[in-house]
Amino acid sequence: MSKTNPGHFFEDFQLGQELVHATPRTVTEGDGALYTALYGSRFAVSSSAEFARALGFRGAPLDDFLVFHVVFGKTVPDISLNAVANLGYARGRFGVPVYAGDTIRTTSRVIGLKETSSGKTGVVYVNSVGTNQLGEVVCDYVRWVMVHKRDPQTPAPDPVVPDLPERVGPEDLYVPEDLRLAGYDLELAGSPHLWEDYAPGERIDHVDGMTLEEAEHMMATRLWQNTAKVHFNQFEQAGGRFGRRLVYGGHVISLARALSFNGLGNAFRVAAINAGAHANPSFAGDTVHAWSEVLEAAPVPGRDDVGALRLRTVATKDRPCATFPHKDTDGRFLPEVVLDLDYWVLMPRHAALG
């Protein structure tokens, strides 16, 4: 019997099944430095332990998407090694901050199964939960992937599609109790614009562009111990659909988030992922730009120092975003659009700063 991991096929998943994913990971200051080197992130909370401590954090928390990528990476060998496509995300919530030295692990539960009409594949819905060494949730999300069947003849299971919210409610966003924004220094943060200064409908071109390199996306993806083959093996990809290695979609998410600093500099914390689409593939050599739209501005229950903004951030390849490129008249993503991410961020309110 082969000792290598063949991945799971559609038939291998059962409703309610619990998967304990391998390779717990102690994240370190080394991961933090690499994150800065790969994306150039400038949000002060993750950049400066002093800045973070002034707000009640224990130290500089690691970037929220770094946490997401680590939690996500563990699921790949069990969930998406035989995936045809990563179809969507929903109900993603970030939990307690993650600090250097914490150890992250992930478990997933199968919450939906639906064979596709072709009979050759099926869609698997999983709820993946990342926890730290104390068992506290650091990130919790649903994703669904299309997975090959081992055998097209296997009868289809009863279709179960979970009922997923369009977005996480603002009342469900996790805000650390110890967080006190009176200590937030706008000059050091690098932007004067606070929660009240953003209004639904507002669109922001993040201006800057960043070109992708093979060495960078591969180093990033390995750092998250994500084993999806399409990112690493040029010998095999040369004969594939694109002839190239595909960039991990999460790499583009982190890049877009880092670019969004220019216009959203006080969005110090990503609180939730409502939905996300990797609209088109990205490749080394592509230059990524991004723009954002404010979808909602919601107060955070019980707090007057911090508010939540629901954002759509769109990333493009080889196309600047001054005209906010998104979809065509038929509602299809433009070919230059590589990411459409719907998420909540936290931002200080004027009240906090006296």
145-184 binders of a second copy (CB under 8 A): none
Contacting range for a second copy; rule: CB under 8 A; set: 15-23, 154-162, 168-176, 302-310: 15-23
Report whether 195 contacts 348 (CB < 8 A): yes
Of the candidate residues 84, 87, 207, 334, the single one contacting a second copy (CB under 8 A): 207
Q: Which is nearer to a second copy, 172 or 185 (CB)?
A: 185
Of the candidate residues 191, 254, 282, 313, the single one contacting a second copy (CB under 8 A): 191
Cα torsion angle, 70, 316, 318, 241, sign: positive
Q: Cα separation of 101 and 190, whole Å? A: 28
Q: Cα separation of 8 and 251, whole Å? A: 24
Q: Which is nearer to a second copy, 100 or 298 (CB)?
A: 100
137 binds a second copy (CB under 8 A): no
Of the candidate residues 190, 283, 299, 303, the single one contacting a second copy (CB under 8 A): 190
Structure tokens at 340: 């459409």
135 binds a second copy (CB under 8 A): no
Is 248 exposed, middle or buried, given 0-12, 13-18 or 19+ CB atoms closer than 10 A?
A: buried
Q: How would you classify residue 23: left for phi > 0, otherwise alpha for psi between -120 and 50, otherwise beta? A: left
Structure tokens at 298: 């919601």
33 binds a second copy (CB under 8 A): yes
58 binds a second copy (CB under 8 A): no
x-marked contacts with a second copy along 216-255 as a string, rule CB under 8 A:
x-xxxxxx-x-x-x--xxxxx--------x----------
Of the candidate residues 213, 296, 304, 328, the single one contacting a second copy (CB under 8 A): 213
x-marked contacts with a second copy along 257-286 as a string, rule CB under 8 A:
-----xxxx-------------------x-
Q: Which is nearer to a second copy, 128 or 227 (CB)?
A: 227
Applying the rule CB under 8 A, the residues between 66 and 95 that interact with a second copy are: 77
26 binds a second copy (CB under 8 A): yes
E strand or H helix at 234: helix 234-237
Q: Cα separation of 146 and 125, whole Å? A: 9
Beta strands, E only, the chain: 18-20, 25-26, 83-94, 103-115, 121-131, 137-148, 203-205, 210-211, 269-277, 287-299, 306-317, 337-348
Contacting range for a second copy; rule: CB under 8 A; set: 117-125, 135-143, 156-164, 188-196: 188-196
> Which residues sit opposite 198 in a β-bridge?
none
* Rounded least distance, CB 115 to a second copy, Å: 27
